[in-house]
Structure formats: C-alpha cells, structure tokens
Structure 1
Amino acid sequence: MTRYRSVLVLAILASLAIGAALPSLFRAMRSGGAPESQTETTQAAPVNGEVQLSAAQIQASKIATAPVGPGVIARQVTAPAAVKPDPDKIARVAAKVVGVVEELRKRLGDQVKRGEIIAIIDSREVAEAKSEYLAAAANFELQSVLYQREKGLFEKKITAEQLFLKAKAAFTEARVRLDLARQKLAALDMSEQEIAALPSQPIADLRRKEILAPISGRVIERMVNVGQPVTGEGQLYVISDLSIVEAEIAVPAADLSLLREGQGVRIKNAEGHVFDGTITYVTATISRETRTGPVLARFPNPDFSLRPGSLLEAEISLKQARVKVKIPRSAVMIIDGKPNVFVRTPAGFTKREVELGRGDDDSVEVVSGLKPGEEIAVSNVFLLKAELGKQNIPEE
C-alpha cells in the first residue's frame, strides 16, 4: 500500500512538471528556436511618428488620401443674402382713369408681353373724352372745307375779305380744339393708333379703356377684382421681369472696405444651382443693431430659379493667389503645438511637420515640409493623431 502511494505521488509530480514546460515548448516550435530558457523575441516597435496600418484598416477607418499639388488660395466673404426683384424691372400698372374694372385678363403668376391688353376699365371719363375728340374732329373737317371754299372765292375776288377771315378764324379754332381733345386722350394713356381708330369704333365701346402691359414679365401682384371701382391712381397689377433679380447682402462692417462695385459675387439656391452676379452698390452706412451694411448685387436669372423672397448665402471673392502646394485644412493636425500632416507610406502613415502660409476658409498653403505629388491623409485624420498618441504613452 505504501509503495502504491509513492508511485501515485511521483506520477502527479511528473504531470505537473510536463504541464509547466509545454508553453515554452510550443513557443519554441513556433519561433524555430529552443524552449523558453531565454528572453522571448518581441515585434519591432514602429519608427517614431509612424502609424502602421494595412490597406484594409485604412479603408475600414474611412481615411481618405489625396496627392498634394498647386492651387489657388482665395479669400472670401460669406454673408446672408435676400433675393428680391430688380427695381428697374418692376412695373406698377395703374388704371389712369376713373371707372369700374370690367375685365381682368391675367392671373397671378401669368406671363405677359409688352403692349398686351391685360385689363379693361369701364369709364365715363374716357367716354366723354372720346366723344369730345370725335366732335372736335368732325367740326375740324367741316371748318377745313369751309375755309378752303372761302379761300378760293376770296382769291377770285368773288367774296369779301371779312368772310374769308371769319372762315379762317373758325378753322384755326377747330384745329386747336382737335389738338386739345387729342392731348386729353393721350393723357388718359391712349396711343396714337387707338386715337386714329376712334371714328370706326362702335358707340358701345366708347366707355372701354384698354390697359396695356408696360413691360414683359410675370404678374407678381393683382390688386383689384372685376367690378371694383378704381381711380386714376389705383393700381391693377404689379409686373416684374424676373430674368434679372437683385440680392441684398448683409456684409459685416469689417469687410465693407474691401468691396468695390463691379466685383463678382456668387450665390447658390436650394436646388444647388450656382449663380454668378456683380456688385452694383456698396453702402456707406452701417446698421447699429447688426453691425452690417447692405450690399446690392444683380444676377441673371434665365430659368427663374432665383425666387424673390429667398434667403440664401453669398460668397464674395476678395483676393486670389497661386501657390505651389495647397492642402485642405482638414489635413492639418496640431501636434505638440506645431502643424503636422500624415504622409502615406507603404506601412501606413508617418507624421510630418509643415510650415503653413496663406489660407482661405477651406485650404491652406504649405511653404515647406511637403512636395507636389506626395500623398497625404485628408479626412478622418484625427484617428491617425489618436493612434499616434497611444504609441507615445510610456509603458509602466
């Protein structure tokens, strides 16, 4: 029994010894060396400033890269802009006569052409002026015939000079009355063609005053309804030619001195379409509340995509400079108080200190530290900075 116990104890001790030696044996087999009787070989540490990443890791981290090269640095002023109709392209259509709206031929938003009939006013004032003109024209024709008759008789010594002079005075008075009647119709906004057509116009139409569109454009306001009384100053429509619009830009006071009339300005609408315009006015006053000054710019709007009343963002380019190396601002990381970029290498990335120069809102010039053609990280660069920071943490 004692011998059995001794054999059992020896077997247990042998098993423990073999189990303790197995890990060293396995490591030796993997490394091709002897059992772990000496210090285990470790992977070489990355070079200072290097972040080792595989192509798959770079893609998974969504780290985009791009080659560096020359470009243009442009300083810009960005400010809110309110689109409105060009005041030189707006027409307010007035009735110009006292009467009642008989017909409105255009609705809100309709397109109109210059000279097109857009409304008709029933006016007693117009009827009286037309009747006065027709009477004056008939009297002028009669007095003209009598004058020519008396003139012929006087030249033949058949009639007395007194009768000739009386006929001449009546003819002159008739011509003056006709001219006054024509001027009155012209004051009621009747064209020469309309006046010339009056003798053949039906009597029922004498009260009708046709209102013509003064410009081509679109109806943006309709001020009256059919049957509504109007005065000479009463407005019927507001027509605007929206092929050219104006934008009022609220520019900060500090940037107003940098702007000049004739400078280019760019805005983008809600659909993403870009429109280029020109500054037409730079204000000399500044709002006390907002510390901004209004700047006006005109924009071609051939497809009417710029809608008056829209609030958009305007970009005004101030200065442009050509540089040899231009990179996005997103590529620059401040490490130990200095600007750095991460340059692509076969093993991943390596940080490199750079000297920066001129810049704008999106890009910056690299004076030294990079050469054209080198590839750098341009997005999610903070991940590389964070990984580099982990490598610099001292081990305990």
Structure 2
Amino acid sequence: MSYQSSLWTRTLCASAIAFSLSSTALAADEFAVSAAQMQALGVKLQRLDKPASIPGMTYPARVVLPPSQEYVVSAPLAGVVDQLLVGQNEAVKPGQALLRLASPELGEQQLKLMEAASRNRLAQRTLQREKQLASEGIVPERRAQDAQNAAAEEQARVRQAEAALRLAGLDAASIRRVAEGNAMQDALVIRARAGGIVTELSIKPGQRVALSDPLVRVADTGKLWLDIQLPVERQSQVTARGGQVGIVGRDASAVTASLGSTVSDNQTIVLRAQVTRGAALLRPGEFVQAQVAFFGSGEGWPVPVAAVARQDGKAYVFVRTDKGFVATPVEVLDSAGQALRITGALRPGQEIAITSVIGLKAAWLGKGGGEKGE
C-alpha cells in the first residue's frame, strides 16, 4: 500500500470514529470516548499540576563573566620573565606559582631591608645600653629618650622595606630570612591570588616587562551571567528578578537578575540572568539560546498550543472524564512559541487532551449535523 493510500485510510478512520462519537453525546458539552477510541485517534493527555508561568520563546544570549570573577596579575617590578609555570586554559589554585620574574629591583629592595634591619638591631642595642646607664645615673635621661626615638625610626624603616617586598610578591618567610641577613633571592615567584582558569598569557619566557605590565589573566568560571537580547515589546512579560531561564541544548539554567535601562538600535533590551546550574558546561563569550519564562496578569495553566480548540470566537480544552471528555471554556492569558497560559474552571489533577484535538472537536460538535454551528 502506498503512503498516500495509507494516509487516506487513516483520515477516513479518524472521521468515522469522530462521527460515531458524536452519536453518543451525553450532554451539551460532554461526550463519550472509550480508551480504544482514544488510542485509534491518537489522543494524548496532560495532567494539570498547578498554575505557573509558560516556557517563553528562545532568544540569543551571551555568556558573560562577572567583573568580580576575573583578575589580572601585573608585574610588581620591572624585569625579565625567567620562567612560565602555567599554560593557557590551565586551572590554578590560590597561591599557586604562575611565573618567575628576574628583577634587579628585587635585589635592591632586599638590600634595603638588610641594611635597615642591621641598623635597627644596632639601634635596639644602643637603646638598651642607654637605658641601663640612665637607670644607674651615669648619663642623663635625655640620652635614653634620644636613643628610643632613633630606635623607633629604624624600626619604621624596616617595616617600610618589608612592605615594599610584600607588595612585590615576596612571601613572609623569604622576607624574614632577608631581614636576618641570609641569602637574597635572585628571582621573584609570582603566585595566583585566587583559584580559576588561566584565560590569557600576555608574556613569554625571556620577555622584558615594565612595572604594572599585565602578565596573566585568571578567571573563576564558577559564576557566570547570561546577557539575553530580549525584544523590547516583551519586557512587560518577564520577571526582571527571580524569573526562570532555560538554556537550550545544555543541562543548565539561570535566574533573572536585572533588566537593562536602555534599548539597542535593533530594539532589544538586555535581560541579565545569573547561571545557577551547569556553569561548567558554558564558556565566557559564547552565544547560546535562552528560554525565558513569561507571565501575565493573574494565575494560569501552562498548556501546549495544540491543546486549545476554537469555536465561535471562544477557546476550549477537552477535560477527561470517567466516560469521555467535556469541552471546558477557557481564556487565553498569554502565549509564547508553542505554549499558552490559560485560565478557566480547571483543577489540579485533571487531565486534558493535547493531541488529536480536531477529532475530539468534531465529535463534540457532532460532525455532519450537530447542534453547534461551525
């Protein structure tokens, strides 16, 4: 049998079933349909859960990294990149070594600390001696006070030298060893301030860098945003904060956080959403399709477009009963894509037909001569 003949046979069968259903009408809007007849017509049901928003249409969105989730490691001193210890797109932990920087300025700053620490030790010994002599009455009290002032100044110089090395990136243990007069470091190991992914390496081994030159960019992709390009006429149908957003083709979702205040040249407005699930499946800068949940006035039931039948300018859904279906009037609150949100005399737990609604409508109207007009 050819495809056309098979399709014609199925159409005749559906029409015959619909005609037989119309002859067994129970009430004005209720008609009998058996399980076998439902199967023959291909009727599928959807259980009503609770009123909710409808899945919105999909719109282009860009994955954005929040500014707080990214930082740039800059050169704390002028010098030469001695060695790179990480690679592009490599995950790093807080405190992990990123590179070694050889810098003459590092040696100068360490020397300043050693000299300041040496003078400080001498000033402290002088202070103790002057205090002892003053307590014995050998020297006047003013000499002890002058020694105390000198010791305080030397101690301040030590703290200043230590602070300069800390800003350069030298760790506390190395600073302490330098202050004690031990061997100085010939290169500075620059470490990650926080964990993340190395998104950019701006230097190569052997390259000379100046103070504050960017070296490495690190991003924590555990927190991401979506910048959704929403048509401006849809802005009144979305929840600007707390609305649900799905990401097509990804096991990820987001929640709306803010709605932009300006409209672009192509008449779209940015709806920003924060990714709450599946951030590891997304990459900053990529474009995805975001599905935004719409809402309208009042509460409604989300149903497929195919579930609603039209008759005499009114909308109906077919609610399953013990003996068949009842055509229930509804009001369409809003729509988006292949979804509608309706309200009417519906209750949680009821089942409505979502396929082969045309055949059920024919049975309800009494196809071929029912009471209701087309």
Normalising by the smaller structure, the TM-score range is 0.7 to 0.9
Of 95, 99, 116 in structure 2, the residue corresponding to residue 115 of structure 1 is 95
Residue in structure 2 matching 1:245, options 193, 199, 224: 224
Aligned partner of 1:130 among 102, 106, 110: 110
1:303–1:296 distance in 2 versus 1, CA, 3 Å:
closer
Alpha-carbon distance, 1:107 to partner: 1.3
TM-score of the pair, normalised by structure 2: 0.72
| C-alpha separation in 2, matches of 1:56 and 1:118 | 71
Say if 1:228 and 1:57 are closer, same or farther in 2 by CA, change over 3 A: farther
Which of 263, 281, 293 lines up with 1:286 in the alignment? 263
Deviation, structure 1 residue 176: 3.7
Cα deviation per residue 1:129-167 (whole Å; 9 max; x = unaligned)? 111101110111012212322332233233577866765
Q: Report the more deviating stretch, 82-91 or 156-165.
A: 156-165
**CA–CA separation in structure 2 for the residues paired with 1:200 and 1:138:** 8
8 Å CA contact 1:121–1:209 kept in 2: the answer is yes
Shift of 1:109: 2.1
Contact 1:243 1:302 in 2 (8 A): no
Aligned-pair identity (%): 25
Equivalence for 1:186: 166
- The alpha-carbon distance between structure 1 residues 327 and 75, as it changes in their structure 2 partners (threshold 3 A), is closer
Give the alignment partner of residue 273 of structure 2, picking from 283, 297, 316.
297
Where 2:53 maps in the other structure, the secondary structure is: strand
Higher gyration radius (CA): 1
In structure 1, list runs of 5 or more residues that go unmatched. Answer: 1-44
Contact 1:331 1:376 in 2 (8 A): yes
Indicate the SS of the match to 1:119: strand
Q: Is the 8 A contact 1:76 1:318 kept in 2?
A: no
Aligned match of 2:305: 329
Is the contact made by 2:48 and 2:352 (CA closer than 8 Å) also made in structure 1? no
Return 5+ residue gaps in structure 2 as ranges: 1-18, 26-32, 370-374
Q: Secondary structure at 2:71's aligned position in 1?
A: strand
Following TM superposition, by how much is the alpha carbon of 1:184 offset from its aligned partner in structure 2, in angstroms?
A: 2.5
Compute the displacement of 1:213 (Å): 1.0
Deviation at 1:260, TM superposition (A): 5.7
* Of 172-181 and 135-144, the range deviating more from structure 2: 172-181
- Closer/same/farther in 2, CA of residues 351 and 147 from structure 1, 3 Å limit: closer
Please say if 1:358 is aligned against 2:333: yes
Q: 1:375 to 1:192 in 2, by over 3 A?
A: closer
Q: Which residue of 2 aligns with 1:85?
A: 65
Q: Judging changes above 3 Å, is the alpha-carbon distance between structure 1 residues 270 and 331 closer, same or farther for their aligned structure 2 residues?
A: closer
Q: 1:174 aligns with which of 141, 154, 164?
A: 154
Relative to structure 1, the CA distance from residue 365 to residue 177 in structure 2 (aligned partners, 3 Å threshold; closer, same or farther) is closer
Work out the CA distance in 2 between the residues paired with 1:332 and 1:292: 31
> Do the aligned residues in 2 keep the contact of 1:253 with 1:286 (CA within 8 Å)?
yes
Deviations 1:3-47 (A, max 9, x none): xxxxxxxxxxxxxxxxxxxxxxxxxxxxxxxxxxxxxxxxxx855
* Structure 2 Cα separation of the partners of residues 74 and 290 of structure 1: 27
